[in-house]
Amino acid sequence: MNPHEKPLILVTNDDGITAPGIRALIDMMNEIGDVYVVAPDSPQSGMGHAITINSTLFCEKIRIDDGPQKDREWACSGTPVDCVKLAITKILPRIPDICVSGINHGSNSSINVIYSGTMSAAVEAGIEGIPAIGFSLSDFSYSADFYAAKEFIQKIVRESIEKEMPKGMILNVNIPKLPKEQIKGIKACRQANAVWKESYDERKDPRGRSYYWLTGEFVNLDKGEDTDENALSEGYVSVVPIQYDMTAHHFISDLNQWDL
């Protein structure tokens, strides 16, 4: 990137283009670069890395506020991953210098990375060779304080642009639910080994058919001090570098011992 040029920043999320979390992130990114927003027109939480292949996508230019990005926002009928693909292929004037996704309403630490539309959007950008970061706040409330970690969010984005992350590297950033003055700093971590212990609330519809609501309890199985869960519990912003090569490389030699 030419150092005199402002970075081109693609902003997306999974809670929808009008969610307070993305509006705060757009605001923060406007201070760093030229912001383009391509985000879902409705909530897409829990969509993981879903893409729309068997139906059509709509994508419309809309104007939501008077910020510097006011003429560079598009609402898309698809998933977060669709938004990134469409942005890169059809909308942006050039490949962005960075893609930021969020700020998600709720944590995407540990195993949540795998269910998260916020993180999948970032991963998709990573697959396309674009530095990418997903931001999430451990607070589901629509009136959550998304600005408490503004300084840390901007620092991470600026460093990611300056340090030129290796291709395919994505950052999963989680922010503890704390007032600004109680956030202790930033910690680089690994993904904690945790699991959701699900239960399903079974009900009957008016015609007598059973239906189910997913509920669940989060269980951290990992006592390591180097995990994102631990950093968050200690009041730090956690940063986990993630990759999309899912190969368990160490197990290939074991497989070669099998009778296959």
Quick one: which of 14, 209, 239, 227 has its CA closest to 104? 14
Closest separation in Å from C-beta 51 to a copy of itself? 5
Contacts of 3 (CB under 8 A, 6+ apart): none
Quick one: 67 or 150, whose CB is closer to a copy of itself?
A: 150
Q: Is 210 annotated as a binding residue?
A: no
Q: Is 160 annotated as a binding residue?
A: no
Closest separation in Å from C-beta 68 to a copy of itself? 25
Closest separation in Å from C-beta 242 to a copy of itself? 4
Closest separation in Å from C-beta 184 to a copy of itself? 12
Quick one: 147 or 200, whose CB is closer to a copy of itself?
A: 200
Quick one: 1 or 221, whose CB is closer to a copy of itself?
A: 221
Sign of CA dihedral 38, 40, 43, 47: negative
Cα distances (Å, whole numbers) of residue 148 to 138, 151, 176: 12, 8, 10
Q: Is 34 annotated as a binding residue?
A: no
What tokens were used for 172? 């999963």
DSSP one-letter code for 51: -
What tokens were used for 215? 């509920």
Quick one: 68 or 225, whose CB is closer to a copy of itself?
A: 225
Taken as a whole, the chain contains a residue count of 260
Rg (CA), the chain: 19
Closest separation in Å from C-beta 29 to a copy of itself? 18
Terminus-to-terminus CA distance in the chain, angstroms?
50
Quick one: 2 or 256, whose CB is closer to a copy of itself?
A: 256
Q: Is 104 annotated as a binding residue?
A: yes
* Residue with tokens 């990573």, as numbered in its chain: 126
Quick one: 63 or 65, whose CB is closer to a copy of itself?
A: 63
Closest separation in Å from C-beta 190 to a copy of itself? 4
User: What is d(CA 5, CA 258) in angstroms, rounded to the nearest whole number?
Assistant: 55
Quick one: which of 28, 26, 46 has its CA closest to 36? 26
User: Which residues belong to the annotated binding site for a divalent metal cation?
Assistant: 14-15, 45, 104
User: Which residues belong to the annotated binding site?
Assistant: 14-15, 45, 104
